[in-house]
Amino acid sequence: MHQPVSYIQQTKNLYDSLGYEAYRWFRADTPTAFVKPPLPLSRSKLGLVSTAGTYLAGQIAYHYKDDTSIRAIPSDSEVADIRFSHVTENYLIEARQDPRCVFPIEALRSLRDMGAIGHLADNFFSCMGGIYSQRRVTEKLIPELAARIEQEDIDVLLLVPL
C-alpha cells in the first residue's frame, strides 16, 4: 500500500533545493466563494480538468517551459492511451504506472454507470500545472480553459491537480 504523496511540499522542497527563492506561489486576492451545484450529482453533467500534463497517444506532448496549451481527452478514452508530459517529471512516476491516480477516467465512468453521476462531459481537459508565468496563466490559459469548459455545458467540474 502506497502512502499519500504531498506534492505541494515536494514542489516547495524541489524549488528550495534549486535556489528558486524568487518563485512565488499564487495567492488569490479573495477567497473563492462556495457555489452550490445547480443539480444533485446524480443528475449533473461532470467535467474533469487535470494539471498533470495529460495527453493521449497521438496528441502532441507538452513542452517543458510555460506551456499553456490544453488537450481535450474524450471521456471514453482508454487508460492505455493516456500519457503524461510535465515540467516536474519526477512527480509522474506513479501516474505512468497507473494513469488513473491523476486522471480518474474509469472511476468517473463507473460512478456514471452506477447512477451517482448523471452524465460525463464529452471531453475532459488537461493542462500542465507547472507554469512559472502567472501572467500567462491568467491571461491565456485560464480564459481558454474556461471557454472550452463552457462549451461542454457542464454542471460540476472536478479539478485533479498535480
DSSP, res 91? G
| CB-count exposure of residue 54 (10 Å: 0-12, 13-18, 19+) | buried
**Nearest CA-CA partner of 145 in 50, 60, 59:** 50
Domains of the chain by residue range = 40-160
Average pLDDT over residues 13-29: 67
Contact 56, 82 (CB under 8 A): yes
Residue 132: band (very low, low, confident or very high) from pLDDT cuts 50, 70, 90:
confident
Average pLDDT value for the chain: 84
Contact 136, 70 (CB under 8 A): no
Residue 158 has pLDDT above 80, yes or no: yes
pLDDT of 20: 58
pLDDT of 71: 95
Residue 25: band (very low, low, confident or very high) from pLDDT cuts 50, 70, 90:
low
List, as one string, the DSSP characters of 55-73.
EETTSPPPPSSS----EEE
Mean pLDDT check: name the lowest of 53-57, 76-80, 129-133: 129-133
Q: What is the pTM of this model?
A: 0.80
Q: What are phi and psi of 63, to 5 degrees?
A: -80, 170
**Nearest CA-CA partner of 162 in 113, 128, 115, 111:** 128
Instruction: Report how far residue 1's alpha carbon sits from residue 115's, in angstroms, rounded to the nearest whole number.
Output: 29
Contact 95, 101 (CB under 8 A): yes
Instruction: Report how far residue 135's alpha carbon sits from residue 141's, in angstroms, rounded to the nearest whole number.
Output: 9
Average pLDDT over residues 60-84: 89
Pairing relationship of beta strands 156-160 and 119-120 according to DSSP bridges? unpaired
Average pLDDT over residues 134-162: 91
